[in-house]
């Protein structure tokens, strides 16, 4: 190749390199612009979702942050795919690969995703809240924390328990703390020679003297069971949920002492 041919080839190569540099410089600048704008938009939408979802009454803070982060990451992924498209990358194949990877991860983490779905339902529907005492077929305790994967409880005897959310969602749950009042039935056994009316009066007096027993519904007594040698008399009353345990134990104790005194008096009268 002579000097003139080498000069022409060099000039053509430099011209092509210059055109490629100009082309890709615009692509790089466009990519940087998209990354900056996308990051800013993702941050704005994240903050907007946090503020908006936080205003919804009863919407748990864990769910607020979860959905806000999901929106942010979705926007960032879309921005990243758009940036790759700026450089001529086939984004359709990338989307297909992400879909396949998501399916594989979903199958591998099926149990974990089931717990996440159950956690979301528990946080949305709120069958129980932090501080409430619940009981299921396999576990009972006071709720300490509700997470996306599992729920922490404290048992009545002070033990720490961790229950997967799927086990709490797929089983009936009894919430002992949700409603304001609870009913209790105090039953005493009256011997065949005992005074049923006096027993009913005694039980009603116990309920009426205790300020914790609610007036509505009013307490009432009734004969619950007839037996050949004894009769069961029941006092049915309602009490505040937070005072239920102490009230029922106190009235049981008072009823026992009162019954012992009545039986002693009747025995002395019979003599």
CATH number at residue 65: 1.10.287.1260
- pLDDT tens digits, residue range 233-242? 999 999 999 9
- Count: domains in the chain: 3
More confident residue, 78 or 85: 78
- pLDDT tens digits, residue range 33-65? 777 888 888 888 888 887 887 777 666 676 677
The answer, yes or no, to whether residue 201 has pLDDT greater than 90, is yes
pTM of the predicted structure, to 2 decimals: 0.63
HSE of 25, CA atoms in CB hemisphere, 13 A: 6
Q: Are residues 7 and 101 in the same domain?
A: yes
CATH number at residue 158: 2.30.30.60
* Average pLDDT along the chain: 81
- pLDDT tens digits, residue range 216-239? 999 999 998 777 678 899 999 999
Does the residue 119 lie in any domain?
no
Q: Are residues 228 and 138 in the same domain?
A: no
More confident residue, 57 or 140: 140
More confident residue, 45 or 94: 45
The answer, yes or no, to whether residue 184 has pLDDT greater than 60, is yes
pLDDT score at 9 = 54
116-134: average pLDDT: 87
Does the residue 95 lie in any domain?
yes
Q: Are residues 170 and 194 in the same domain?
A: no
Does the residue 114 lie in any domain?
no
Does the residue 121 lie in any domain?
no
- pLDDT tens digits, residue range 154-177? 998 999 999 999 889 988 999 999
The answer, yes or no, to whether residue 246 has pLDDT greater than 90, is yes
Q: Are residues 187 and 98 in the same domain?
A: no
Does the residue 122 lie in any domain?
no
Does the residue 250 lie in any domain?
yes
Does the residue 113 lie in any domain?
no
End residue of a domain, out of 108, 141, 167: 108
Q: Are residues 241 and 216 in the same domain?
A: yes
CATH number at residue 261: 3.30.70.100
Does the residue 96 lie in any domain?
yes
Q: Identify whether the C-beta of residue 143 lies closer than 8 Å to the C-beta of residue 189.
A: no
Domain coverage including residue 58: 3-108
pLDDT score at 101 = 65
């Amino acid at each position: 190749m002579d000097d003139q041919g080498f000069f022409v080839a060099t000039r053509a190569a430099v011209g092509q390199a210059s055109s490629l540099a100009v082309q890709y410089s615009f692509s790089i600048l466009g990519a940087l612009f998209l990354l900056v704008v996308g990051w800013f938009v993702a941050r704005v939408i994240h903050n907007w979702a946090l503020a908006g979802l936080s205003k919804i009454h009863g919407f748990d803070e864990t769910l607020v942050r979860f959905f806000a982060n999901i929106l942010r990451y979705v926007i960032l992924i879309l921005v990243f795919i758009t940036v790759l498209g700026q450089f001529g990358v086939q984004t359709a194949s990338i989307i297909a690969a992400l879909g396949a990877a998501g399916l594989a991860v979903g199958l591998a983490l099926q149990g974990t995703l089931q717990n996440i779905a159950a956690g979301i339902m528990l946080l949305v529907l709120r069958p129980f809240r932090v501080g409430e005492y619940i009981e299921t077929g396999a576990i009972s305790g006071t709720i300490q924390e509700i997470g996306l994967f599992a729920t922490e409880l404290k048992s009545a005897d002070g033990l720490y328990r961790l229950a997967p959310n799927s086990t709490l969602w797929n089983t009936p749950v009894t919430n002992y703390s949700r409603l304001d009042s609870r009913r209790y039935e105090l039953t005493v056994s009256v011997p065949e020679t005992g005074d049923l009316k006096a027993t009913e009066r005694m039980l009603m007096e116990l309920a009426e003297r205790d300020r914790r027993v609610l007036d509505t519904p009013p307490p009432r007594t009734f004969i619950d069971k007839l037996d050949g040698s004894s009769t069961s008399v029941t006092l049915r009353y309602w009490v505040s949920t937070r005072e239920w345990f102490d009230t029922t134990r106190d009235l049981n104790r008072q009823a026992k002492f009162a019954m012992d005194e009545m039986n002693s008096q009747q025995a002395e009268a019979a003599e």
